[in-house]
Structure 1
Amino acid sequence: MVDLRRSLVINFISSSGTTLLQFIVSIMLARILTPREIGVYSMTVVFINFAHVFRDFGVSAYIQREKDLTTDKLRSAIGVLYFSSWLIASILLYASSSIGLWFNEPAIIPVMRVLAIGFFFIPFGAVTHALLARNFEAKKEAFPNAVGTIFFCISCIVLAKTGFGSMSLAYANLINIITCSLAYIPMRPKGLPWIPSFKHWRSVAHFGAGSLLSSCASTLHGAIPDIVLGKIGSARQVGLLSRANSTVTIFSYIAGSTVSYGAVSYMAQMYHRGESLVPTLSRATVLLTGVGWSALALSAVLGGDIVLALYGPTWLECVPAILPLSIAGSISMLFHFAPIAVTSIGRPYLSAMPTIISTVARILFCIVMYDGTLNRFAWALCLATLITAPVISIQQARYFGYSSAAMLRDMIPSMIVALGTALAAWVLSTLLPVHLASLARLLIMALPLAAVWYVLLRITRHILVGEIDRLVAPIKAKLPFIGPNV
């Protein structure tokens, strides 16, 4: 736990810096690129993300979870990863024209081809990344992450300003992959083989097949909105939906990989020791919702001000979609660690069932409910998420002994904190003059809302208070004018 906690702090610092840079870039790009250009990239990334599932083939999760990871098994994992990555890259290059034709959007073709080239380079750093995560070596992971992010951000802005449009994001992504792969070379653990093998490919493939089912279902689930809206709507609406999602997921964006960092390895170790995962599941979810639900509630209440302040009036049409997406996000956050838990016990395929149900529901609801507006489309996504919750609850009760009633009891403090913070935001928003600039309104509300959130944490005795005190303790110790009892 000490190693994991230290790695979480390091990972958060690293990912926060990365997130800050990427967030600034996304704001700048929103004022340089049009909704259509961002929509074209979003539609293309849907297929790229889906391809990543097959590219990885569960190898990263296998390396992090495998109890007895020998050199031969590592070489086999490398062999499977190289084969799957290069095969998928070739398929994407070949299929790019057909996908562009299906959407009747030729701009997709060159974007997809550039993104496909990145698949040839990803394996060179992927295994090292998985091993570092297995050993909770977040400090070593920070360097490649920082290098790739810096090159990505610079490339994005320079290329976008020089008129590359959607291609600026594609080229920046490729540059990021190449620089990360190069930066991972000095981070390679001692004894990590260079030469791939297929001696133990069956054990890797067996785990990968189970992982592939759930990962494939999850990725398809995330891809459906852009695919369906891109087909029955337009690239412009896809761009607006992407921006509404960005507003709703600001917390997830800031938290980055820290939320799930090392979770598979940590839970797998607990499972191998015969320990119950319920306390870890409960604590992790309460901590996540303690911050995440309040962030989602604020996004729902202050969505208009956030969009205007960050992205400008061009994107105001996305605001009606923020409320339903926030509700859907709060439901998904409640079960964030469920797929990780079933993967850690060697049953990754279990998470595929609820995801498949939600995916089918998304397709049906989106097609039936869509009336040409983004608002109705977003409510369709929300309803699809809602009907999946009971399925995941049943799985958690059956395989971990974590009942729905117990989970809901655990989440009461987070719920009170989120509702109280949202109410305070609504009151402050109503009291502030409408003519004030959106950024000014948000800045004025920031400190009072943070104070309300913290006071509510104290009142509800939320376990997040202990984590905050633990983080603040070293700072207090270094400040002589703060007493030990403060």
Structure 2
Amino acid sequence: MADLRRSLVITFFSSSGATLMRFAVSVVLAYLLTPSEIGIYSMTVVFVNLAHVFRDFGVSTYLQREPELTPDKIRSATGVVFTTSWLIAIGLFLSSESIGLWFKEPEMIPVMQVLSIGFLLIPFGAITNALLTREFAAEKQAIVNIIGTTSFCVACVAFAALGHGPVSLAYANLVNIIVCAIAYIPYRPKGIPWLPSFAHWRSVTHFGLGSLLSSCMVALNNALPDLLLGKLGSAHHVGLLSRANSTVTIFTHIAGSTVSYGAVSYLAQAHHRGESLVPVLSRATSLLTGVGWTALALTTVLGKDIVQALYSDVWLECVPAILPLSLAAAVTMAFHYVPFAVTAIGRPYLSAFPVAATLLARIAFAVVLFDGTLAGFGWVLCLATVAAAPITLLQQRRHLGFGALDLLRALLPSALVAAGTAAVAALLALALPSQLAPLVRLLLMFPVLALAWYLLLRASSHPVLDEVHRLGGMARARLALLRPNV
């Protein structure tokens, strides 16, 4: 637990730094690229993200969960991931023209072709990354993450400033993959074989097929909004949806890798020891929503100010979609650890069912309820997420022993903290002069909201409070070491 906690702290700060850099670049790109150009890239990357599911084939999860990992098994995993990655690279490159013509967006073609080249290079770093996660070696991963993110951000701005349009992001992605593959070389665990093999391909693919089913459903579900809106609406709508999603998922981008880091490995180890996963799931869910639900609530209340401060008035059309997207994100967050848990107990395919239900509900609601507006499409996504939630609730009770009452006990303090902080934000938004610049308004609100959140954590005896105090103690200890001796 100590190694995991240390890894989580390192991952949080590294991912936060990387996210802030990417977010800053996204703000710059909002001025360099048009909504249509960003929409073109978003529509293209949908197919690439789906292809990533088949590329990995569950190999990363296999390496993290396998109880006894031998050199032969690592070689077999390497052989599988190289085979799938290179086949997908060829498939994406050859299908790029057909996809661009189907969407009637020829600019998608060069974007997809550049992105497909990255699949040839990703396997060189993927195996090392999975093994480092298994060992909770977050410090080494953090260094690679910062190097890769820096190269991506510099390349993004440079190519966009040179007028390459949506291909700028594809070029930057390729630069990031190359740099990370090189940076992982010195961090390969000792004794890890370089050459691939297929001696144990059956055990790798057997686990991979179960993991692939769930991952494929997740990728399809994530891709569907852009595909549906791109077909029913336009690239302009997709660009606005992308910006609304970026606003809603600011917290997820900052803490996403932290809240998921080592989850499969940690839960699998507990399962192999015969321990119940209920206490771990309850505490993890409470910690995540204690911070995440408050972030979503504040994003909903202050959405207009956030969009104006970060992206300018050009993107104000995306604000009406923030409320339904935030509600959908809150529901999803409540079940965040269920897919990791069912994978840890060796049944990764289970998480495919609620995702498939969400996917079908999105299609059905889009056909029946979509009114041609961005807000209307946001409510389609929200209702689909709510409709599929009972399936996940049933699964976690049946297979993990984590019932509805356990979940409610974990979520109730988070709901109270989020509601209270949002109410304070609404009052502050009314009290501050509207003539102030949006960024100034947000900066003035921040210390008051932080204090309100902390007081509400104390009032509700929220588990997050212990972590806040622990981090505060670590910070004070570090500062004490930095003080000169008198």
TM-score by length of 1: 0.98
State the identity as a percent.
Answer: 62
* TM-aligned CA deviation for residue 478 of structure 1: 5.5
Task: Output the CA distance in 2 between the equivalents of 1:177 and 1:77.
Answer: 20
Q: Output the amino acid matched with 2:259.
A: V
Matched-pair contact (CA < 8 Å) for 1:428–1:445: yes
Task: Output the CA distance in 1 between the equivalents of 2:328 and 2:352.
Answer: 18
* TM-aligned CA deviation for residue 11 of structure 1: 1.0
1:310 corresponds to: 310
Task: Output the CA distance in 1 between the equivalents of 2:337 and 2:99.
Answer: 33
Task: Output the CA distance in 2 between the equivalents of 1:3 and 1:258.
Answer: 14
1:223 aligns with 2:223: yes
* TM-aligned CA deviation for residue 31 of structure 1: 1.4
Task: Output the CA distance in 2 between the equivalents of 1:32 and 1:120.
Answer: 30
Q: Output the amino acid matched with 1:451.
A: L
2:417 corresponds to: 417
2:140 corresponds to: 140
1:59 corresponds to: 59
2:273 corresponds to: 273
Q: Give deviations 1:174-228, integer Å, cap 9, x for gaps.
A: 0000000010011111011111000100000000000000000011001100000
Task: Output the CA distance in 2 between the equivalents of 1:478 and 1:110.
Answer: 49
Q: Output the amino acid matched with 1:123.
A: P
Task: Output the CA distance in 2 between the equivalents of 1:384 and 1:110.
Answer: 33
2:22 corresponds to: 22
2:245 corresponds to: 245
> Following superposition of structure 1 onto structure 2, how do residues 180-195 of structure 1 map, counting pairs within 5 Å?
180-195=180-195
* TM-aligned CA deviation for residue 436 of structure 1: 1.2
> Following superposition of structure 1 onto structure 2, how do residues 70-469 of structure 1 map, counting pairs within 5 Å?
70-469=70-469
1:484 corresponds to: none
* TM-aligned CA deviation for residue 435 of structure 1: 1.4
1:483 corresponds to: none
* TM-aligned CA deviation for residue 256 of structure 1: 3.1
Q: Give deviations 1:74-95, integer Å, cap 9, x for gaps.
A: 1000000000000000000011
* TM-aligned CA deviation for residue 406 of structure 1: 1.6
Q: Give deviations 1:255-314, integer Å, cap 9, x for gaps.
A: 131110000000000000000111111111000000000000001111000000000011
Task: Output the CA distance in 2 between the equivalents of 1:368 and 1:97.
Answer: 31
Matched-pair contact (CA < 8 Å) for 1:16–1:256: no
Task: Output the CA distance in 2 between the equivalents of 1:31 and 1:440.
Answer: 20
Report the secondary structure of 1:31's partner residue.
helix
Q: Output the amino acid matched with 1:211.
A: S
Task: Output the CA distance in 2 between the equivalents of 1:31 and 1:455.
Answer: 39
Task: Output the CA distance in 1 between the equivalents of 2:268 and 2:400.
Answer: 13
Q: Output the amino acid matched with 1:425.
A: A
Q: Give deviations 1:436-459, integer Å, cap 9, x for gaps.
A: 111111111111011100100000
* TM-aligned CA deviation for residue 477 of structure 1: 3.8
Higher mean displacement: 360-369 or 187-196: 360-369
In structure 2, list runs of 5 or more residues that go unmatched.
481-486
* TM-aligned CA deviation for residue 147 of structure 1: 1.2
Matched-pair contact (CA < 8 Å) for 1:8–1:258: yes
Q: Output the amino acid matched with 1:381.
A: L
Task: Output the CA distance in 2 between the equivalents of 1:388 and 1:474.
Answer: 41
Q: Give deviations 1:215-257, integer Å, cap 9, x for gaps.
A: 0001100110000000110001000000000000010111131
Report the secondary structure of 2:227's partner residue.
helix
Q: Output the amino acid matched with 1:407.
A: L
Report the secondary structure of 1:364's partner residue.
helix
Task: Output the CA distance in 2 between the equivalents of 1:95 and 1:199.
Answer: 32
Matched-pair contact (CA < 8 Å) for 1:19–1:256: no
Q: Output the amino acid matched with 1:243.
A: R
Q: Give the ranges of 4+ consecutive aligned residues of structure 1 lying more than 4 Å apart after TM superposition.
A: none
Q: Output the amino acid matched with 2:289.
A: T
Matched-pair contact (CA < 8 Å) for 1:305–1:438: yes
Task: Output the CA distance in 2 between the equivalents of 1:317 and 1:457.
Answer: 34
Q: Output the amino acid matched with 1:333.
A: M
Task: Output the CA distance in 2 between the equivalents of 1:141 and 1:54.
Answer: 23
* TM-aligned CA deviation for residue 48 of structure 1: 0.3
Report the secondary structure of 1:388's partner residue.
helix
In structure 1, list runs of 5 or more residues that go unmatched.
481-486
Report the secondary structure of 1:387's partner residue.
helix
Higher mean displacement: 428-437 or 198-207: 428-437
Distance change (3 Å), C-alpha of 1:401 and 1:123: same
* TM-aligned CA deviation for residue 144 of structure 1: 1.4
Q: Give deviations 1:357-399, integer Å, cap 9, x for gaps.
A: 0001011111222221101000000000001111000001001
Matched-pair contact (CA < 8 Å) for 1:96–1:109: yes
2:484 corresponds to: none
TM-score by length of 2: 0.98
* TM-aligned CA deviation for residue 411 of structure 1: 1.1
